[in-house]
Amino acid sequence: MKLALYPGSFDPITYGHLDVLRRAMRLFDRTVVAVVENPRKTPLFSARQRRLLVSQALKEEGIQDVQVVSYSGLLVECARQLGAVAVVRGLRATSDFDYEFQLALTNRDMDSDVESVFLMTAGRYSFLSSSIVKEIARYGGDVSRFVPACVAKALERKFRERRRA
């Protein structure tokens, strides 16, 4: 049974992430979404909120049999604990490559049993990132084309709270 890990900050999850997840599900027997608890940048949503939004988004999109976990340590340790043979990452454009290249080779150096697999997201999401979605939502823009409704609602609530603060 080939299990793939799909790690990320998912702050928040977008249709671009869900597109990559569906592609991974066609390649591997099982795919596990792993939400990192302490991402490089300060997240808008807590680890619990990000993990909950991933689960809600999967349900809203009718995606079944995908386990959602969170991890606070190294990605390779999470992969090893789950018995993953691959780490799946989405590539949007060449701008992603340098960062992913460094991640992949460093992870391989730490554990050569875990292979990084890169999947191209659909063209219609190639410009999409969680950061740009948050930027649009921050200014009250419509993000319904980019994220599931549960995520759009969470963004609207989060920025309404911030405006009141």
Pair of tokens at residue 42: 């300060």
92 is catalytic: yes
What does the alpha-carbon distance between residue 113 and residue 81 come to, in Å, rounded to a whole number? 12
70 is catalytic: no
Instruction: Determine the longest span between alpha carbons in the chain, in angstroms.
Output: 50
**Cis peptide, bond prior to residue 7, ω within 30 of zero:** no
Site string for ligand PNS, 117-136 (x = CB under 6 A): --------------------
Site string for ligand PNS, 37-76 (x = CB under 6 A): --xx---------------------------------xx-
Listed ranges 5-13, 55-63, 111-119, 156-164: which one lies at the site for ligand PNS (CB under 6 A): 5-13
Q: Are 2 and 86 in contact (CB under 8 A)?
A: yes
Q: Does 106 bind ligand PNS (CB under 6 A)?
A: yes
Q: Does 103 bind ligand PNS (CB under 6 A)?
A: yes
163 is catalytic: no
Return the bridge partners of 3, or none: 30
The secondary structure of 12-31 as a DSSP string is T--HHHHHHHHHHHHHSSEE
46 is catalytic: no
When the beta carbons of 75 and 84 are compared against ligand PNS, the nearer one is: 75
Which segments of the chain are extended strands (E)?
Answer: 3-8, 30-36, 67-71, 86-91, 115-120
Number of residues that bind ligand PNS (CB under 6 A): 11
Listed ranges 36-44, 58-66, 115-123, 146-154: which one lies at the site for ligand PNS (CB under 6 A): 36-44
| Separate counts of helices (H) and strands (E) for the chain | 6, 5
Residues forming contacts to ligand PNS in the complex (CB under 6 A) are 7-9, 36, 39-40, 74-75, 103, 106-107
Catalytic residues: 17, 41, 92, 130
